[in-house]
Amino acid sequence: METDKPEDAARQGLRERLEHILIRTEKATSWHDEAGRLRGLVNHDGYVPIRTRLAVEDLEFLSGARTELLKFSELGLRLLDLHQPRDAGGITSDTAHPILRCRSCMWRWPCPTFRAMSESFGSSRDLPESA
């Protein structure tokens, strides 16, 4: 008897899409250091007249970066809407700090989804203490 369920096709497709974005992003060159230097070259029209060598990976990344970041941000906001704390309704002696559970997955707050998002996009100090 097989107890493992086959992977959901929609979930697998989303995973592949996110992995593709991650791989493409890792291959592209970071513009962080260049952006600082280029800010000083902004002309009176508000543009930077530059000539640079871009790899194919850089162009592929830059061509879809805005759209993908918009979608990724939207995903993050939707996950935050789903995974938020609510009062678990239990009896506690500390009324100032009631027991909280995630509204969506019912794990003790902070739930694993929120914790993973906070660790990836925020800092661990942003996480509430769990008892």
Would you state the pLDDT for residue 128?
52
**39-94 pLDDT per residue, tens:** 888 889 988 887 778 888 888 888 888 888 888 888 988 998 899 888 877 666 66
For all residues of the chain together, what is the average pLDDT? 79
Q: Which token pair is 106?
A: 């019912």
Q: Which residue has the higher pLDDT, 97 or 69?
A: 69
Give the domain ranges of the chain: 8-82, 84-89+99-131
Region 12-35: what's the mean pLDDT?
81
